[in-house]
Structure 1
């Protein structure tokens, strides 16, 4: 057969040990939790514990649960037709045991990929024991089987996750009487259905997630059930802006290029929101906020390209403020801040932009940018040369201003190359959109540093005018 029987927890333990010894990441794709949450999860898996992930929304709890599937064997044999994915060397239902006894080595098997060995249930108040554990199937009774026949049972999600992992999201939302039904599954590994006592030694790892506020707002995990989980692991948001940037770069589906400095501003804004007293921190600021913001600014750039004919549009810092209004629904504000939501977020965006600007361009000579606004020949007649140029003391940009138009207004700027390097743009493959994004970032930083003025106009065009 080419495969030996191991329980799910033995598989996970052996494969995790192999990864740790080889130096490969045990949970690839989990960002910002390497030194905190991941070691705790590793210890729980090595100990063979079912566990609860406890943390605010958007901290990657579900992602972590699903990533654990990668620690299972890639393929495992199962009895063909088995509802519970039974291993041919360890049948647990009466029907499979009969079939194994009759056919012996001729027992038909198939190979199940690890991706099919994960089941998940969002706990809701209307979830029933039948959904999780199982119930009597009336169609089997109608087919002539007797009520006392165990084969009349229709198995729920938990038994069907046999030989795999089962995740329960928002466990406290599960009614307490339903939580009681999980006692035997987690401890004795058997199930009880309407008077049937089925000694099914289920082989699975159970992982649950919960938000701390659920213990008081919507429900709680009852104490006997908490006691049956081997570990309770607290998750958290990424602790650094770099981790947030890495998370956004991994998760966001960008439809246009978003430069690294814009991603850093989004990450810094997210951290400002998480530290703000105006935001309800009990609810938290989900990582989905950062991801959605990055996707929104990329969409704004794509829209500009579609409307102006610009090829390869690149998101700019000015694209961020207009899209924030559509993201306010992801935030919970403290009482007393009603009507000020947009103002609060815009203020924090300015703080985030200043912080990233100072971090990236610290020590650079930006006089070439400020000198651009000091060169004005308002009356060419005062110059002896009749062809003396007239240079506007303003630069106009906005949602529908293509990159080349912005560059044409600015002209040649001393120190631009150093700025491009500072914001992470490769001069050898630079595009007009990338240069325009870097210039607009510097102009906004100079404005926030009170070295330039800025005026904005309303309307769909959303014009921004920088001047001296």
Structure 2
């Protein structure tokens, strides 16, 4: 039951049973960490690592959904949504690692499209137009990325990155690119390396790739870079 009121109990006892949702992202993440069943690494297979900032996006999306006027709050948004989306994000990363024969499976921004799909049907969107549900969910995901980006990435680190795009530079990202493509990008765009390394907290190629996508997407969402997207691919360029 995903609603706040369990009707049979209300009818029988004349009382309401209310569901209490996590009040903050940290609590939500703690529950997800305890309850989620991410794909298990197998000998010879990729090692799964979910960066803190990506896990935080999953929890933040649920928090935002509980405040959204587009979501039926009577039906509610269970923490099970965060658990399911966390598992979906992990599975998407593992699929890519297996496809590209990479040793690490690390979720990226380009994997977040998968949680739009996994969220559909788990919360009740108050939308009459066909196709609007997906747009609302995409908006929640973007808002979650933006909120985490603002918390995690100091704005003073970003000026040189934006300036590096003033020479008509174009950067490609996507869920089909190997981590090595982002290592090459950091070599070509040194200004990006500092913020990415600070966010990643690790020199792991997979985590660095994830952090690179996250910083680029954050710059787009804060209107400092333009973005063209098609399918699982994205192109970032300066706004000049």
Category of TM-score, reference length = shorter chain:
0.7 to 0.9
- Pairing 1:147-166 to 2, within 5 Å after superposition: none
**For 1:199-227, what per-residue CA distance to the aligned partner results, in whole angstroms no more than 9, with x for missing partners?**
xxxxxxxxxxxx64333xx5635239x7x
2:237 maps to what in 1?
A: 467
2:226 maps to what in 1?
A: 453
Question: Would the alpha carbon gap of residues 259 and 271 (structure 1) be closer, same or farther in structure 2, given more than 3 Å must change?
Answer: same
Secondary structure of the residue aligned to 1:374 is helix
Match of 1:420 among 182, 197, 212: 197
Q: Do the aligned residues in 2 keep the contact of 1:454 with 1:466 (CA within 8 Å)?
A: yes
Output the CA distance in 1 between the equivalents of 2:125 and 2:4: 18
Question: Would the alpha carbon gap of residues 323 and 222 (structure 1) be closer, same or farther in structure 2, given more than 3 Å must change?
Answer: closer
Output the CA distance in 1 between the equivalents of 2:230 and 2:173: 11
Secondary structure of the residue aligned to 1:453 is strand
2:122 pairs with 1:326: no
1:436 maps to what in 2?
A: 209
**For 1:158-212, what per-residue CA distance to the aligned partner results, in whole angstroms no more than 9, with x for missing partners?**
xxxxxxxxxxxxxxxxxxxxxxxxxxxxxxxxxxxxxxxxxxxxxxxxxxxxx64
Match of 1:368 among 145, 152, 160: 160
Secondary structure of the residue aligned to 2:49 is coil
Q: Do the aligned residues in 2 keep the contact of 1:301 with 1:315 (CA within 8 Å)?
A: yes
Match of 2:59 among 238, 257, 267: 267
Cα deviation for residue 452 of structure 1 reads 0.7
1:402 maps to what in 2?
A: 178
Which structure's relative contact order is higher, taking Cα pairs within 8 Å and 6+ residues apart?
2
Whose strand proportion is higher, 1 or 2? 1
Whose helix proportion is higher, 1 or 2? 2
- Ranges in structure 1 where 5+ consecutive residues have no aligned partner: 1-55, 58-210, 227-231, 377-392
**For 1:320-342, what per-residue CA distance to the aligned partner results, in whole angstroms no more than 9, with x for missing partners?**
12331132011112253553110
1:222 maps to what in 2?
A: 12
Secondary structure of the residue aligned to 1:222 is helix
Cα deviation for residue 372 of structure 1 reads 3.3
Give structure 1 regions of 4+ aligned residues with deviation exceeding 6 angstroms. Answer: none
Number of aligned residue pairs = 229
Cα deviation for residue 361 of structure 1 reads 1.2
User: What is the root-mean-square deviation in Å for CA atoms of aligned residues?
Assistant: 2.4
TM-score, normalised to structure 2, is 0.85
TM-score, normalised to structure 1, is 0.46
Q: Do the aligned residues in 2 keep the contact of 1:258 with 1:315 (CA within 8 Å)?
A: yes
- Ranges in structure 2 where 5+ consecutive residues have no aligned partner: 40-47
Q: Do the aligned residues in 2 keep the contact of 1:396 with 1:406 (CA within 8 Å)?
A: no
